[in-house]
Amino acid sequence: MGSLKFNKSHEWISLDGDLATIGISDYAQSQLGDIVFIELPKVGDELIKASQLGTIESTKAASELYVPISGRVLEINNDLVNSPQWINEDPLGKGWMVKLKISDTSQIDSLMDESVYQEFVASQSN
């Protein structure tokens, strides 16, 4: 997996050329608690940066997921339908949600790298 980038709504993106894998951060899953359900887009859907990616439900709350970068859905992690707990157990690995073909790579520049994201998280908990 390449280096991770993050957005302010706590989704991460891993880049491999013009392919992006998306999930939620370890911080986000810890705030949500036990994940019980996830709704994801369909393969072939065109997603626009900052639009809704899907919905995630935990024992605490339901939250919307947002797209960190525009692109077309190439693959979704169907295993999460039956095993949403993977988001809690391995949010940066088996808990990935969607793979996109990026339509505008310049959008990557607006995302935070891991160290800036950690500072952002720290500022949120004060």
pLDDT score, position 1: 47
Averaged pLDDT, groups of 10, the chain, 126 residues long? 86 95 97 96 97 96 95 97 96 97 95 96 84
**Count of the separate structural domains present in the chain:** 1
Range of the domain at 19: 4-124
pLDDT score, position 49: 96
CATH number reported for the structural domain that contains residue 11 in this entry: 2.40.50.100
Of residues 47, 95, 34, the one with CA closest to residue 73: 47
| 15-48: b (≥16 Cβ within 10 Å) or e | beeeebbbbbbbbbbebbeebeebebbeeeeebe
Phi, psi of 110 (to 5 degrees): -85, -5
Give pTM, 2 decimals.
0.94
pLDDT score, position 117: 97
